[in-house]
């Protein structure tokens, strides 16, 4: 259809601009000198404005109408091909959402988040929340305006959750998290009565050079394509899409806790594998359809490889000796079972990215509650550090000794990514459900990992999740892949099975 081809051409220009912005943002977080920050913010704002101008173009509205897509029927007529209908639905949503946002707001938001990101790095490094607070206030104010444009008269937080997980609302998320919290606290109560696990060996000094070698080894094992990306170091690990075949990751290393870099690398590689596996039909290459279905499904892939595979005994039965040879003499006495127990120790901690599988979602629930309070008008930026500390005390029985370990530990708010945090918890739920679906299809993930066969696992994920791109809505895709709607019980069952065996409860 000629109309669809015109639409795809315009969309590809938008995607190119997004990839150009990603190049500048990647450089900003990896290599940009401090004095280059102000102009970089202007560069990013300029490109983001151009992308917004293109997606809101009257020409796109005209083409959507001509193809039969309407507000009430975004997919267009049933007579056209399924892939074309999926594309029309997605482009109608993108165009209508973007059209609600004033061009000036988009430009100012881009500039503000670029500056806030640099301020966050400085504030975290110097443990000084005041260096960041005025930037956070500016971003929050703009994001409130942003949300009110998207859904006038509705909950502003609903609009932000919907950006990352289409159809998600604060009320539904709160109910889900309330039930999940109860299940997690019940597992924690069982573990409290069990013998403690020693993980002190993980805190032995380990040179960054050794950790770098280990990170690249793990990326090889997970079948990362080095011809389509690279790994660098940043203050906060991330994955970015600089092009259809240019998916880069960053990690960070702690010389006194090597699992930090190890599992961050596996996490980000999981994200990269998803992006590298997206494969809509050729005519939809480099369009908006060639993107992940949702943030929650994206996190399912990173959490799957980081935890369900990366912390499994089967995986380490295959890779333990290789890891020891890279870590050096300080770990010569390390034993497989002791290591496996150590990396799965359940213990409330201050840092989200290093939290165990049982307590991790509690960190997410806290962030969700704080975000909801910020957008509900029940919390100010100045009150945030104290609210964070109290929330940590109530949720996990710990109080951060400084803001670097507290409300400054994550970069997301500096980037304006309010509403993203729930995706991490959803990722755990999706991942456990996909694990069960994989087993029903005859693939036993841990047995495959023990046999060194990660390719069969990746192939299943590629076929059922990755290659679909955004053809399906998230709830449709998880049902198609697993045969049922999202079921938190899969994750709870997984935790009870794994940690019941570890702690003998």
* Residues 51/14, Cβ–Cβ less than 8 Å: yes
Which residue is it, tokens 């009110």?
148
Distances (CA, A) of 367 to 140, 226, 387, 461: 15, 35, 10, 29
Helix or strand or coil: residue 400?
coil
DSSP one-letter code for 57: -
Q: In sequence order, what DSSP letters do the residues of 487-503 get, joined into one string?
A: -THHHHHHHHHHHHHHH
* Residues 67/76, Cβ–Cβ less than 8 Å: yes
**Pairing mode of beta strands 239-243, 246-251:** antiparallel
* Residues 491/429, Cβ–Cβ less than 8 Å: yes
DSSP one-letter code for 142: H
Phi, psi for residue 313 in degrees, rounded to 5? -65, -35
Distance between CA atoms of residues 377 and 383, nearest Å: 12
Distance between CA atoms of residues 202 and 147, nearest Å: 43
* Residues 272/249, Cβ–Cβ less than 8 Å: yes
* Residues 343/198, Cβ–Cβ less than 8 Å: no
> Per the residue annotation, which of 29, 183, 268, 357 is the catalytic one?
268
First vs last C-alpha separation in the chain? 61
Q: Which tokens belong to 127?
A: 């443990």
Q: Could you tell me which residues come within 8 angstroms of residue 328 by beta carbon, excluding any fewer than 6 positions away?
A: 206, 207, 210
With 0-12 CB in 10 A as exposed, 13-18 as middle and 19+ as buried, what is 196? exposed
Number of helices (H) and strands (E), helices first, in the chain?
20, 3
* Residues 493/315, Cβ–Cβ less than 8 Å: no
Which residue is it, tokens 């679909």?
468
Q: What is the largest CA-CA distance in the chain?
A: 69
* Residues 67/3, Cβ–Cβ less than 8 Å: yes
Neighbouring C-beta atoms of residue 256, cutoff 10 Å:
10
Q: Which of 191, 189, 183, 269 lies closest to 490, judged by CA?
A: 183
Distance between CA atoms of residues 392 and 243, nearest Å: 39
Distance between CA atoms of residues 346 and 190, nearest Å: 11
Query: Is 268 considered catalytic here?
Result: yes
Instruction: Catalogue the active-site residues.
Output: 268
């Amino acid at each position: 259809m000629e109309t669809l081809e015109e639409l795809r051409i315009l969309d590809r220009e938008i995607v190119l601009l997004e990839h150009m912005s990603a190049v500048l943002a990647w450089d900003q977080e990896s290599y940009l000198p401090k004095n280059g920050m102000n102009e970089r913010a202007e560069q990013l704002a300029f490109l983001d404005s151009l992308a917004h101008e293109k997606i809101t173009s009257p020409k796109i509205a005209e083409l959507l109408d001509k193809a039969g897509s309407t507000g009430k029927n975004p997919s267009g007529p049933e007579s056209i091909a399924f892939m074309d209908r999926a594309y029309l639905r997605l482009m109608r949503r993108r165009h209508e959402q973007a059209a609600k946002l004033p061009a000036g707001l988009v430009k100012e938001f881009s500039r503000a988040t670029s500056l806030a990101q640099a301020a966050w790095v400085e504030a975290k490094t110097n443990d000084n929340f005041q260096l960041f607070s005025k930037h956070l206030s500016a971003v929050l104010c703009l994001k409130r305006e942003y949300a009110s444009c998207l859904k006038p008269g509705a909950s502003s937080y609903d609009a932000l959750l919907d950006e990352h997980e289409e159809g998600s609302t604060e009320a539904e998320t709160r109910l889900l998290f309330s039930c999940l919290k109860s299940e997690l606290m019940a597992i924690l109560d069982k573990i409290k009565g069990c013998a403690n696990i020693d993980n002190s060996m993980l805190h032995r000094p380990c040179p960054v050079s050794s950790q770098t070698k280990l990170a690249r080894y793990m990326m090889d094992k997970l079948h990362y394509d080095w011809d389509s990306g690279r790994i660098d170091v940043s203050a906060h690990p991330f994955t970015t899409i600089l092009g259809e075949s240019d998916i880069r990751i960053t990690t960070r290393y702690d010389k006194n806790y090597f699992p930090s870099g190890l599992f961050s690398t596996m996490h980000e590689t999981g994200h990269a594998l998803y992006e590298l596996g997206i494969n809509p039909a050729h005519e939809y290459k480099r369009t908006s359809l060639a993107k992940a279905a949702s943030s929650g499904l994206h996190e399912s892939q990173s959490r799957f490889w980081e935890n369900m595979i990366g912390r499994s005994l089967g995986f380490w039965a295959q890779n333990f000796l290789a890891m020891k040879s890279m870590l050096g003499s300080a770990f010569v006495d390390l034993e497989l079972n002791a290591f496996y127990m150590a990396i799965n120790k359940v213990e409330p901690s201050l840092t989200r990215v290093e939290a165990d599988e049982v307590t991790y979602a509690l960190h997410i629930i806290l962030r969700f509650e704080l975000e909801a309070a910020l957008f509900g008008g029940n919390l100010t930026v100045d009150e945030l550090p104290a609210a964070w500390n109290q929330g940590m005390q109530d949720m996990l029985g710990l109080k951060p000794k400084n803001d670097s370990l507290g409300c400054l530990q994550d970069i997301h708010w500096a980037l304006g990514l309010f509403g993203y945090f729930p995706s991490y918890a959803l990722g755990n739920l999706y991942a456990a459900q996909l694990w069960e679906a994989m087993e029903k299809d005859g693939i036993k993930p841990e047995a495959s990992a023990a046999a060194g066969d990660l390719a069969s696992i990746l192939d299943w994920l590629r076929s059922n999740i990755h290659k679909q791109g955004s053809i399906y809505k998230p709830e449709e895709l998880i049902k198609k892949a697993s045969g049922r709607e999202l079921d938190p019980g899969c994750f709870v069952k997984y935790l009870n099975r794994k940690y019941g065996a570890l702690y003998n409860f």
